[in-house]
Amino acid sequence: MVKIVPFEVEQWMDRLETTPGVLNIAETCAASVSIDELTALSEDKNAPGPLDLSRKLTYGAIRGSEQLRGRVAHLLGRGATAALPSENVVVTQGAISANFLLYYTLLGPGDHVVCVYPTYQQLYSVPQSLGADVSLWRLRSENNYVPDVEELKQLVRDNTKMIVINNPNNPCGSTIPTAVLRDIVDVAREKGIIVFADEVYSPVFHSLPPDMEMPPSILAMGYGKTVSTGSMSKAFALAGIRVGWIASRDRSIIDAVSTARDYTTISVSQLDDQVASYALSDAVLPSLMKRNLDIAKTNLAILDAFVRKHSTHCSWVKPTAGTTALVQFHKGGKPVNDEDFVLDVLDKTKALFMPASTCFGNGVDFKGSVRIGYVCHTDVLSEALEKLGHYIDQHLG
C-alpha cells in the first residue's frame, strides 16, 4: 500500500484561505486574470477570442491539442540550438498532476532520487511514497539558496535515477544560474541520470542581478535525459483552467508517461486547452508576461521596503524570481514559533501566509520563517503588510 503523508502546505491552504475577509498573501500564482482581461491583453484586436463556442464538446486530443503542445514546445525551446518538437509535450491537468504522473511512471523501490530542499513538498514526498529513497539537497541562505554542485556529487549514488530541481525555487524565490544548470547536467550525463526540473514559476525571472542572464529551460542544456514540467497557473495567472504539461527531449520518457496517463486522464478539458493556447499565442503572451513581471517588480519593491523597515524583527534573502519569498521573523533575538505566528496574525489582521518550518522544513528546518506569495494584486499586498507592520509593533517590539 502506498504511504501518503499529509501535504502540509496544501492542508494549511485548504483550512485557512477561505477565512472571511482574508488578505491572502499565501497564494503563489501571479494575480489571476479573467477571460475578459486576457482578451484585452491581445495585441491583435481582430483575432478570435479564446473560446470557440461552436465546437462540439467531445473529448479533446488525448495528449493535448497540436496547437497547445506546439506553443508549449516553443516556450520551452528558448535558448536551445534545436527546436523542441510538439510531439515531445504531453498536456496534463496542472503541474501537480504532471509531477505525480512523471514519478508514478518512472520511479519505484530500489531507485534513488536527489531533490533540492526546500521546495514544494510533492517533489520529495511522492517519490518516497512510491518506495524510492530520497536524499535532500539542501539550499543554504549563505549561498542565496543556489544549489551547490559539489554537494550534489556527494549525494549521487550508483542507483541514483533522478535529480530534481525547481527553477525558480518555491519557497525561496531563488534562481539557478545557467552555469550551475550546466554543471548539474554534466553530473547527470556522466552517470545517465534523469534531470527533472519543475519550472512552474518560469519565466518569471523579474529581479536578476545585472550580470545574470535569464536561464533557459533545462531542455535547452543539450542533454537528452531532461524533463520539464510547468503549468498555466503560476507564471501565466490562469490557475483556474488547470492546464499543465510534461516535456522531454527523450521520446521514450514521453511515450512511457503517455501510456501511464491512459489510466488517469483521457484528456484535459477542451475549453481549458483553448484558453491556454490563446494565452500562449504570439498576440497575447508578451502582454500577459509584461503584466505579470510588472506586478512582480512593483510588489517585490513593496515587500523589500517592509523588510527593511522592520529589519529588527525580520530578515530574508531577497528573491530574484518567481512569486514567493521566505521571510524569518524573530522576537528578542529568537525565531518566532511560525505556526503560532501565522495563526495569530491571521486572527488579528486577516493577513495569511504559510509557516515554513511546517510546510517546507519537515517541522525541523526554517524555524520562525514564513512563505509569502507577493505577486498578488498590489492593493492586497499593501494592505496585508500595513496590518502586519502594526502587528509587529504591538507584539514583537
Q: pLDDT band for 59, please (50, 70, 90 cuts).
A: confident
Tell me the percentage of the chain whose pLDDT exceeds 70.
Answer: 99
C-alpha cell at 268: 484535459
Q: Which residue has the cell 523588510?
A: 307
pLDDT the model gives residue 277: 97
Residue 122 β-bridge partners:
none
Distances (CA, A) of 271 to 60, 90, 345: 9, 17, 39
* Mean pLDDT (the chain, rounded): 96
The answer on pLDDT for 3 being more than 80 is no
Using one digit for the tens of pLDDT, what is the confidence trace for 95-144?
999 999 999 999 999 999 999 999 999 999 999 999 999 999 999 999 99
Full-model pTM? 0.96
Tell whether the model's pLDDT for residue 79 goes beyond 80.
Answer: no
What's the per-residue H, E or C state across 300-366?
A: HHHHHHHHHHCCCCEEECCCCCCCEEEEEEEECCEECCHHHHHHHHHHHHCEECEEHHHHCCCCCCC
Average pLDDT over residues 273-290: 97
Q: Give pLDDT, residue 124.
A: 98
Confidence check: pLDDT of 30 > 80: yes
pLDDT level of residue 157 (50, 70, 90 thresholds): very high
Domain architecture of the chain: domains with CATH: 8-36+286-395 (3.90.1150.10), 57-284 (3.40.640.10)
Question: Can the peptide bond before residue 171 be classed as cis, meaning omega within 30 degrees of 0?
Answer: yes
In the chain, % of residues over pLDDT 90 = 91
Mean pLDDT of 169-188: 98
- pLDDT-based confidence at residue 357 (cuts at 50, 70, 90): very high
Rounded distance between C-alpha atoms, residue 238 and residue 143, angstroms: 32
What per-residue confidence (pLDDT) applies to 47? 84
Q: What confidence category does residue 29 fall into, taking pLDDT thresholds of 50, 70 and 90?
A: very high
What would the mean pLDDT of 271-294 be, rounded to a whole number? 97
pLDDT(1) > 70:
no
- Which residues fall within 8 angstroms of residue 235, CB to CB, at 6 or more apart? 30, 200, 201, 202, 203, 204, 289, 292
Q: Cell numbers 535515477 correspond to what residue?
A: 161
Measured CA distances, 216 to 28, 156, 239, 331, 346 (Å): 22, 24, 23, 41, 38
- Cα gap 223→155, rounded to integer Å: 21
Compute the average pLDDT of residues 76-92.
91
Higher pLDDT, 45 or 196: 196
Q: Write down the pLDDT at residue 58.
A: 87
50-58: list long-range contacts, CB under 8 Å, 24+ apart. Answer: 50/274, 50/275, 50/277, 50/278, 50/279, 51/271, 51/274, 51/275, 52/274, 55/270, 55/274, 57/270, 57/271, 58/270
Per-residue pLDDT averaged across 367-389, rounded?
98
Mean pLDDT score, 178-191? 98
Residue 341: what pLDDT?
98
52 has pLDDT over 90: no
CA–CA distance, 330 with 363 (Å, rounded to integer): 17
Residues 6+ apart with CB under 8 A from 187: 149, 152, 153, 156, 163, 193
The grid cell for 135 is 536524499
CA nearest neighbour of 130 among 102, 154, 166: 102
Tens of pLDDT, residues 201-232: 999 999 999 999 999 999 999 999 999 999 99
The pLDDT of 346-363, averaged and rounded, is 97
For residue 305, pLDDT beyond 90: yes
Position of cell 523579474?
Answer: 206
Copy the grid coordinates of residue 115: 531533490
Q: Of all residues in the chain, what percent are helix, strand and coil, respectively (each to 5)? A: 40, 15, 45
Looking at the predicted structure, is the pLDDT value of residue 78 above 90? no
- pLDDT for 227: 98
